[in-house]
Structure formats: structure tokens, C-alpha cells
Amino acid sequence: MSDLYDQIYDIVRQIPPGRVTSYGAIARCLGTKSGARMVGWAMNASHSTENWVPAHRVVNRNGMLSGKHHFGGSTVMEDLLKSEGIDVVNDQIVDFRKHFWDPFVELEIK
């Protein structure tokens, strides 16, 4: 696993239950504004890590559950989010902005 993946996982582990962030927000926090795709690859690989990564809390910039097919079932990601109080309709987080957690702001990255 790369050092970048470890940095991504560190950020994702800090997302509180009931909150979500985007691939791009994580990339921006790490200083790789165009690295959203890399964050997606890291989330796909997170299911095989030794320490749990709450990858279900990372969605696309519009609040869509774009990575749901990597969770071993068509509703697993949605079910995990709903268990944390986040409503999902048609693979879209309801009130996405209300639940959005910006690591750049929340972690006070300068």
C-alpha cells in the first residue's frame, strides 16, 4: 500500500458517523486537486486493509453513491449510510450539503 493511500485512509477514518465527504474534497485536502480518481482507487482497495476504513462515507461530488458496487452487495453502502442517519434515495444522498464534511475545513489544513 502506498503512503498516499495511508494518508487518504487517515482522513476517511476521521469522518464522523452521519457525515460524508467526496473523493475530490479528500484530494484537495491532500493537495492533489485533480486526484479524485486516485482517492476512488484507494477506496476500492480499502476493503482489503487490516484496519477498517469507513469508505461508505465517501461519495462523488454530487452526493451519488458511485462506489456502491464495491461493497459486496447493491445496497450495502446505502444501508451503512442509513444506519448512520443519512437518507438515500435513488443512490443519491438527501440534503447532501447538510451532511457534507470538508476535510480541508474540518482538519484545519493550511
Query: Where do the structural domains in the chain lie, given as residue ranges?
Result: 3-106
pTM: 0.92
Write the pLDDT tens digit of every residue in 77-100.
Answer: 999 999 999 999 999 999 999 999
Q: State how far the alpha carbon of 47 is from the alpha carbons of 1, 56, 70, 72, 98, in Å.
A: 12, 11, 8, 10, 27
Q: Indicate if the pLDDT at residue 108 is higher than 90.
A: no
CATH number for 3-106 (one of 1.10.10.10, 1.10.150.120, 2.60.120.1440, 3.40.50.2000): it is 1.10.10.10
**Does the pLDDT of residue 45 top 70, yes or no?**
yes
